[in-house]
Amino acid sequence: MNIVFLGPPGAGKGTQAQRLAAKLGIPQVSTGAILRRAVDEGTPMGRRAKSLMDAGQLVPDEILTELIRDALARPDARDGVVFDGYPRNEAQAAVLDRLLSNIDRRVDAVVLVDAPEEVIVARLAGRRSCPRCGAVFHLEAAPPERPGKCDMCGANLIQRDDDGPETIRDRMKVYREWTAGLEERYGRAGLLLKVDGSGGTPDEVFDLVCDAVEGRRR
Ligand code: AMP
């Protein structure tokens, strides 16, 4: 299955995408994580993306097209991909449709993880992530076993540069302006599965995600 995760920043889409990919045994392609790695490594792509990411703005579409093309060419992507953070506008959605149809595939389901703005701001302020393996924690809701250390790989956890209150507001604005319209696009296509990301623990939300995706597979 090729599954897209949509949702405002901080609603929990990355966490849920990671879990679903592990459960289905297919890769999670997180464009934000790939871009952050490129920034850290100082690659030409990272240097182009950095200031836009720091400002909470979208990185140019052609950079993302390259990333997605590479991701789909990976051998482990043969049986499907969980897309986390892509597409983020209409043009990217059209590119994704085209790249998938070139290999006789299509978007099979779109999971929208949504949450109200006040929940999002509180979540992002406490979010800590692993720069090495991408695992995500929260100081209150999902603390790591050893403070400041990743449970998966032991690396030191960090707060993302774009998780400050000002940038959070800019990222929400960008979501509303560019990405929220995709909810309608995928809704019209009968692909949209809505999950409330604010109600319960990450485990409870994951149950909702699994139920929704299972319903579509049947
Ligand atoms: P995320 O981790 O998904 O919140 O992404 C972090 C940042 O990476 C975003 O605020 C954008 O600057 C950039 N980014 C990630 N995915 C995309 C995309 N599909 N299109 C444009 N920019 C992106």
Which pairing describes strands 127-129 and 136-138: parallel, antiparallel, or unpaired? antiparallel
User: Is 132 labeled as catalytic in the residue annotation?
Assistant: no
Distance (Å) from CA 209 to ligand 1 centroid: 22
Alpha helical stretches, state H, 42-192: 44-54, 61-73, 90-102, 117-126, 165-174, 181-188
pLDDT of residue 100: 97
Q: Is the CB of 59 under 6 A from ligand 1?
A: yes
pLDDT of residue 118: 84
pLDDT of residue 44: 94
Which tens digit of pLDDT belongs to each residue from 47-97?
A: 999 999 999 999 999 999 999 999 999 999 999 999 999 999 999 999 999
CA 214 – CA 212 distance, rounded (Å): 6
Instruction: Kindly report the backbone phi and psi dihedral angles of residue 164, in degrees, each rounded to the nearest multiple of 5, phi listed first.
Output: -75, 155
Mean pLDDT, the chain, rounded, equals: 93
pLDDT of residue 66: 95
pLDDT of residue 164: 82
State what percent of residues in the chain have pLDDT above 70: 100
Question: Which residue has its alpha carbon closest to ligand 1 atom 1?
Answer: 32
Select from 5, 28, 39, 58 the residue to mutate for testing ligand 1; criterion: most ligand atoms less than 8 Å from CB: 58
pLDDT of residue 217: 72
Q: What is the pTM of this model?
A: 0.89
pLDDT of residue 193: 97
Which tens digit of pLDDT belongs to each residue from 133-182?
A: 888 899 988 899 999 999 999 999 999 888 888 888 899 999 999 999 99
Q: Please work out, in degrees rounded to the nearest 5, the angle formed at the alpha carbon of residue 32 by the alpha carbons of 93 and 21.
A: 75
Report which ligand 1 atom has the smallest distance to the Cα of 57. 12
> How far, CA to CA in Å, does 65 sit from each of 9, 19, 31, 70?
21, 24, 10, 9
pLDDT of residue 123: 83
| Identity of the residue numbered 211 | D
Q: Is the CB of 155 under 6 A from ligand 1?
A: no
State the catalytic residue, choosing from 160, 185, 194, 216: 160
The residues near 182 (Cβ < 8 Å, ≥ 6 apart) are 6, 87, 88, 89, 90, 93, 110
